């Protein structure tokens, strides 16, 4: 059974750093990409970027480029999303999702993590 | 402001058919597949339709997708109380070089 299990809720202050994880199981981690999707409180879904675990190549939405970093560890089948300096506007739920490789760059997200709530407040 | 447009809400009584539209342009829906997601409040999104009109295993055939030109639609027939959720369309956009989601449509079962 394919599963994406994410880290728990985090409460941080502006300017702090954070790394959240998404641990995959039930399939070959290198066979599909992992994307990250943000949902701000009461708002819709926003694609942030993706990583191809086979070579750790990444693509970012221009809206998030330079503010977050996506990485992966093949040895533990885990993808990461990290911030070096959080802002209050980063508050939201962050989902990881498996991006079906056969549809290339298309938003075909067939399995999702449970979401990680990140709250940034002074 | 999304490049995909959806109505903010839709509603129907149990058993009715509800249709949700998703309007885009030649740089997204007009050139690429459309995907639909269902998000029940407090839970992660779930893939409902892929490649315009294909249902993943386990998705009831009450859900169907279609596309014409630069618009797509999701239809829910035989509406049930458990269908009450937010529905999002998504597509790749050539101009933005990224995947984009519509703003979402909240479906209420009256």
Q: With bands split at pLDDT 50, 70 and 90, how would you rate the model's confidence at B2?
A: confident
B12: nearest Cα among B72, B83, B62: B83
Instruction: Check residues A62 and B1 and name the one with the higher pLDDT.
Output: A62
Q: What share of chain B is helix, strand, coil (3-state, %, to 5)?
A: 5, 50, 50
Q: Return the bridge partners of B20, or none.
A: B74
Give the pLDDT score at A104.
86
Residue B87 pLDDT greater than 90, yes or no: yes
* Mean pLDDT for the stretch of residues B63-85: 97
CB A99, CB A111: distance < 8 Å? no
| CA–CA separation, A47 and A96 (whole Å) | 10
Whether B91 contacts B4, CB under 8 Å: yes
Tokens of B14: 């149990």
- Using the beta-carbon criterion (under 8 Å), do A109 and B37 form an inter-chain contact? yes
CB spacing of A115 vs B88 below 8 angstroms: no
pLDDT in tens, B26-67: 999 999 999 999 999 999 999 999 999 999 999 999 999 999
The model's confidence at residue B1, banded by pLDDT at 50, 70 and 90, is confident
Mean pLDDT of chain B: 97
Q: What is the pLDDT of residues A14-24, one digit of tens each?
A: 999 999 999 99
Helix and strand numbers (H, E) in chain B are 0, 9
For residue B104, name the pLDDT band (cuts at 50, 70, 90). very high
- Does any CB of chain B come closer than 8 Å to the CB of residue A115? yes
- CB contact (8 A) between residue B99 and residue A114: no
User: Would an 8 Å CB–CB cutoff place A65 in contact with chain B?
Assistant: no
Query: Which tens digit of pLDDT belongs to each residue from A22-78?
Result: 999 999 999 999 999 999 999 999 999 999 999 999 999 999 999 999 999 999 999
- Measure in Å the smallest separation between the Cα of A107 and chain B Cα atoms: 6
Is residue A74 classed as helix, strand or coil in its secondary structure? helix
Taking alpha carbons only, the member of B86, B79, B87 closest to residue B110 is B79
A65-119 pLDDT tens trace: 999 999 999 999 999 999 999 999 999 999 999 999 888 889 999 999 999 999 9
């Amino acid at each position: 059974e394919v599963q994406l299990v994410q880290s728990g809720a985090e409460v941080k202050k502006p300017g702090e750093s954070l790394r959240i994880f998404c641990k995959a199981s039930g399939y070959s981690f290198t066979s599909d990409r992992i994307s990250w999707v943000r949902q701000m409180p009461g708002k819709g879904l926003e694609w942030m970027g993706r990583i191809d675990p086979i070579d750790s190549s990444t693509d970012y939405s221009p809206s998030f480029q330079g503010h977050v970093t996506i990485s992966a560890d093949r040895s533990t089948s885990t993808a990461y999303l990290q911030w070096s300096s959080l802002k209050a506007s980063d508050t939201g739920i962050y989902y990881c999702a498996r991006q079906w490789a056969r549809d290339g760059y298309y938003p075909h997200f067939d399995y999702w993590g449970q979401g990680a709530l990140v709250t940034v407040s002074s | 402001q999304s490049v995909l447009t959806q109505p903010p809400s839709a509603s129907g009584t149990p058993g009715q058919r509800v249709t949700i539209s998703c309007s885009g342009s030649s740089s997204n829906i007009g050139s690429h597949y459309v995907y639909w997601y269902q998000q029940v409040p407090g839970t992660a999104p779930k893939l409902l339709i892929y490649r315009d009109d294909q249902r993943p295993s386990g998705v009831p055939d009450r859900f169907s997708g279609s596309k014409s030109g630069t618009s797509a639609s999701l239809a829910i027939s035989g509406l049930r109380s458990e269908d009450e959720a937010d529905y999002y369309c998504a597509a790749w956009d050539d101009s933005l070089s990224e995947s984009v989601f519509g703003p979402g449509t909240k479906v209420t079962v009256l």
